[in-house]
Amino acid sequence: MQEQGTKTIDERRRTRKKLIGISILAVVVLLIALLPACGKGNEGTPGFTPTPGVTPKVTPKATPTPQAKTLKIGFIGALSGPAASWCLQQQQGAQWAIDKTNEAGGVKVGADTYTLKLISCDDKWTGSEGVACAYQMLDEGIKYIVGPICPAVNDGIKPILNEAKVFNVCMEASRGIPSPEYPYLFNGITVTENGAWEVGHYSLFTELFPQTKTVALVSPAPIADPWFPVAKAAAEKYGMSVVAQRVYEYGTTDFYPILSPAIAKNPDAIDFLASSPGDMALMIKQARELGYKGILMAPNAAPMDLLTSITGMQYAEGYIMNQPDYLSPLLPEEVHEIYRDFAARFPESEGGIQNTTMSGYATIMLYKRGMERAGSIDTDKVRAVFDDPNFTMEFPGFGERKLMGCQTYDICRLFPWFTLISQIQNGKLVTLGWKWHDVP
């Protein structure tokens, strides 16, 4: 029994070893059989073994298309009130340039691309509202601003924006601009501290109207100083004398008491200086109603439709202002092309292109060029580009121009600008002459 039991156990052991051996052999055979199939795999996978003589098809990994980022550009200006026509045109000019930039692929900054978006705030032509707008821009994280026009607004916001290293372009006379103290602030149209704007105006005016020898000056109170002294100096420089200076408050609609004493001096011309378009229109009308027959003018501009709707065509006739006829044969063909582009984009625009339209456009193009050359949207890096005295900006229709102010103010922060005189003749605006002017 014991031998039989032992034999049975041995047999069982031998049988189990045979089964294990057979199993191992089967697994090995199976692996050998599967090996070519494993090597074949799918084309483009790590285990792929190409068939000799056949070019494998490798599906490339999809490269995600870089998405353009959005960069907000601020706009601060009087979108309501007596200066609204200026600021609305300036806003439209900025939007015009933004649209063209985005259509062309955006702003290329290093490896990034930005589409631009305009964020606007109405300063209502007052300092307090301007300060509120400035803080709104900071809350939005905005570092580049177009405007404002009003000097009182700019005087309030320039320290706020400068401390935050935010660029902005003021569009009107403001004391202390440009200045190394405010390196992020540009002056987009004029400087009254040295009379650059008025010198250009009177230089051209006296060429065109040499018989004009006396002038009365009229200005809104907030900017009567420094406008009066520099206008007086400019007029006298070109052989004219100032016989009256009259000041009015914003919001005035009855200008008869302001104009009557000036007209009593019998000036050859009355210069409305930096008056807003609405104020200019009312003063033209009321001066003519008072019987004044001399020249009425301003170094600023106003839309023709606004002038004629308030003034009446009979009173607007002969008015002189710094507003081009953009299709004038006196201007370059590039200016005509710019005008046609604007007209096609904004067929319902009231007043067409104004000086502030062009300045709003030029501001966006200034920022675009600065960011692209710096390879960054960081305002310190862009500032270094603007600090180069050889930096040029595109002035729409007039080509490349250097920034001004470098020698006079030790910082290049003045837009290049031209003095231009047009006159309303037979109900149409006719450009009489123009010239670039520089800081004396």
In a domain, 181, yes or no: yes
pTM for the full predicted model: 0.76
- Do 207 and 283 belong together in one domain? yes
In a domain, 438, yes or no: no
- Do 187 and 334 belong together in one domain? yes
At residue 340's C-alpha, the angle toward residues 371 and 76, to 5°, is: 45
- Do 322 and 306 belong together in one domain? yes
- Do 159 and 264 belong together in one domain? no
**AA identity, residue 152:** A
- Do 204 and 322 belong together in one domain? yes
- Do 180 and 200 belong together in one domain? no
Structure tokens at 40: 């074949």
In a domain, 285, yes or no: yes
In a domain, 365, yes or no: yes
- Do 211 and 316 belong together in one domain? yes
- Do 317 and 382 belong together in one domain? no
- Do 136 and 81 belong together in one domain? yes
- Do 104 and 202 belong together in one domain? no
- Do 283 and 362 belong together in one domain? no
Structure tokens at 83: 């200066």
Q: Scanning the structure block, which residue is given the tokens 């009003």?
A: 150
In a domain, 13, yes or no: no
Range of the domain at 290: 196-327+427-431
Task: Return per-residue pLDDT of the chain as tens, 440 residues.
Answer: 444 444 454 554 455 555 445 555 454 444 444 444 444 444 444 444 455 555 445 455 544 455 779 999 999 999 998 778 889 989 999 999 999 999 999 999 999 999 999 999 999 989 999 999 999 999 999 999 999 987 778 889 999 999 999 999 987 655 556 789 999 999 886 555 556 678 888 999 999 999 999 999 999 987 787 789 889 999 999 999 999 999 999 889 999 999 999 999 999 999 999 888 899 999 999 999 999 999 999 988 888 888 888 999 899 999 999 888 989 999 999 999 999 999 999 988 766 788 888 889 999 999 999 999 999 999 999 999 999 999 999 888 888 888 888 877 788 888 887 888 999 999 999 999 998 876 54
Q: Scanning the structure block, which residue is given the tokens 């200066």?
A: 83
pLDDT tens track for 87-116: 998 999 999 999 999 999 999 999 999 999
Closest CA to 86 of 284, 255, 300, 297: 300
In a domain, 62, yes or no: no
In a domain, 315, yes or no: yes
In a domain, 116, yes or no: yes
How many domains are there within the chain? 2
CATH of the domain at 141: 3.40.50.2300
Give me the helix-helix angle, 224-237 and 196-208, nearest 10°.
Answer: 40
> For the purposes of burial, counting CB atoms within 10 Å of the CB of 193, is it exposed (0-12), middle (13-18) or buried (19 or more)?
buried
CA distance 349 to 303: 10
- Do 223 and 371 belong together in one domain? no
CA distance 79 to 77: 6
